A and B are shown apart, each in its own frame.
Chain A
């Protein structure tokens, strides 16, 4: 198979993820966008690895590292988003979260 096809698919995935992050305002959906971008990178790495015939398989090794790190990242990210959700009742990042202290400070 030509190298172009996996690269094109990966580009498309990355673009969709990018669009998701930029267009969505819900933190969870933005996280999904980031995951799509990361998986586009994974696909890219595996394709390049196969193309180079890398004896050390470094591309695939990085893919494994990325899968592990992305899982950790999502776990941590969901915890942070959950904290925000408990505080404001919404996972929307655009809702202006105005702190009462801050308001008082600004009014002075």
Chain B
């Protein structure tokens, strides 16, 4: 026995000597500081959960989350100044700026830093909505006891005792961590881990609404099952692409794709399956079925966070995988993506017309807007040095900024229109809101106009950039389809405005709750950004333009 073990050990020692030496990986801590700050915030949140007294926990957790996000924002600005050097190739400067870090696992380039900034700002605004306690009589909009049955004695006890789930803050921070790593990942392994880190906390957060808990739990189950299902497709696609190229790094995949080293079938199947996973996350047709149910059932603060954040992260990842990894095969995937873009716009806009619930309406609006963003993606215009025409990457990033602010603002307003049973979802009951609260209805009308793409709102500039990029990429049928569906959707958005201002209220109508400074700040900021980006889009557009292209 011992002789046998000895022989095995000797054999192991021999083979160990044959292996190359493994050095400690070089991690660029400074460049990664925004991600590390959010990781630290999430972990501190877990410790606060374990150590702080219950009464102090909610305030402490929200303060930790907000301070952490501010620190990460500061770090992002620092990184954007210090670490975005020009990339040169054989003596000439390329459009890309930045570098790969952490032994090639992540890449911090212009688009990454821009998307980090967006994600952090959206998360900051959403955290203010998470921390809102003025609407439920001093309690947050999340259930007090997620483990007990809805409507039971345990729930009432928890409400009486003022018990709250404060884990929502660290959970949201972990989701934010995943969102930040997702568009920055330079290989498919990192991307998969980021996808799961992004999704798992969101599945849980969806099921934690204080009101209508059954609807919320159903939304969580649905989101979880479909999310796990789609990530299985994503993984199968990764496995096939690995079989094709023999590597997970996007650069190596690009080399393999450009050299056509093996049978194309493996690559095509792999690309298709990977796109299923990514298109699911951006809720593109035909993978949009979960969106209305989940957006409606989830606590509204979570919906806002998810609608803005997941979209930013998933579009970032989609662009990086397809432009960097599969750029050489773009004539294979572009036609399919064009079809998906048209379908998404048409289904989103047409089904939107029939909606009667505010949150479902915003969900279909999210689907239609995914379609508009996909037009720029399918246009795949990468620009060339010396021309100022907006590239697909810049257009998508600018649109994400515009859309994210408007959608968070719209969801914030949806939390304020209430009756005795919580938020009033039914649009018919929003009739006459303009008389009840002209300011609130006016701001909601502003967001609707921005979604519709009316000039002088941010939405118009966003649509202009994505359609311009699609046009430059010779995807003019998409532009035509986009303009037509915009007109269809605009009809609905204008109808909502007419309903709020010119229709008579049903019965006594809904009441508008007076929010604390948190939600007021959210609405003020998002409305201001929506106007400013519509009138002077220059600075943000320049930022998006200067971000350049992806580092390969």
Contacts and interface: CB of A to CB of B under 8 A. Distances in A.
Given A44-B239, A86-B147, 10 more contacts: A48-B239, A49-B242, A59-B239, A59-B242, A72-B200, A80-B203, A84-B218, A87-B150, A97-B217, A101-B422
B25 interface: no
Contacts of B221: 27, 80-81, 84, 93
Interface in B194-217: 196, 200, 203-204, 207, 211-215, 217
A48 B235 CA distance: 14
B215 A99 contact: yes
Interface stretch (B113-121, B222-230, B391-399, B447-455): B222-230
Interface residues of A, number: 49
Contacts of A84: 217-218, 220-221
A62 B225 CA distance: 22
A1 B237 CA distance: 23
Interface in A12-57: 14, 17, 21, 27, 30-31, 34, 37-38, 40-41, 44-45, 48-49, 51-52, 54
B193 A69 contact: yes
B200 A65 contact: no
B239 A41 contact: yes
Contacts of B203: 76-77, 80
Interface of B: 146-151, 188-189, 192-193, 196, 200, 203-204, 207, 211-215, 217-218, 220-222, 224-225, 228-229, 232-233, 235-236, 238-240, 242-243, 246-248, 421-422, 424-426, 429, 506
The prevalent SS among residues of A at the interface is helix
Contacts of B189: 58, 61-62, 65
B215 A102 contact: yes
Given A62-B192, A73-B196, A80-B220, A37 B212 contact: no
Interface in A78-108: 79-81, 83-84, 86-88, 93, 97-102, 104-106, 108
Contacts of A104: 421
Given A27-B225, A31-B225, A83-B146, A17 B232 contact: yes
Contacts of A52: 243, 246
A34 B225 contact: yes
A69 to B, nearest CB: 5
A50 B150 CA distance: 51
Q: Which 10 A-B pairs have the closest CB atoms?
A: A37-B232, A48-B243, A44-B239, A52-B246, A41-B235, A99-B214, A99-B215, A34-B228, A97-B218, A69-B196
A59 B243 CA distance: 9
A17 B225 CA distance: 13
A44 B242 CA distance: 10
Contacts of A102: 212, 215
A65 B214 CA distance: 33
A97 B215 contact: yes
A48 B241 CA distance: 10
B149 A86 contact: yes
Given A62-B192, A72-B200, A84-B217, A41 B225 contact: no
Nearest to B146: A83
A24 to B, nearest CB: 10
Nearest to A56: B247
Tell me which of B148, B203, B235, B247 has the highest count of chain A C-beta atoms within 10 A of its own C-beta.
B235
A99 B151 CA distance: 11
Contacts of B242: 45, 48-49, 58-59, 62
A76 B201 CA distance: 9
A79 B247 CA distance: 35
A34 B224 CA distance: 11
Given A72-B196, A73-B200, A84-B217, A93 B248 contact: no
B212 A99 contact: yes
A95 to B, nearest CB: 10
A75 to B, nearest CB: 9
A35 B189 CA distance: 19
Given A41-B236, A58-B189, A97 B228 contact: no
A56 to B, nearest CB: 8
Contacts of B240: 44
Given A76-B204, A105-B421, A44 B236 contact: yes
B246 A38 contact: no
6 contacts: A34-B229, A37-B229, A58-B189, A62-B189, A77-B224, A87-B149
B207 A65 contact: no
Contact of B212 (A58, A77, A101): A101
B246 A54 contact: yes
Given A83-B147, A84-B218, A65 B232 contact: no
A101 B149 CA distance: 15
B429 A108 contact: yes
Nearest to A54: B246
A77 B218 CA distance: 12
A81 B207 CA distance: 10
Contacts of A54: 246-247
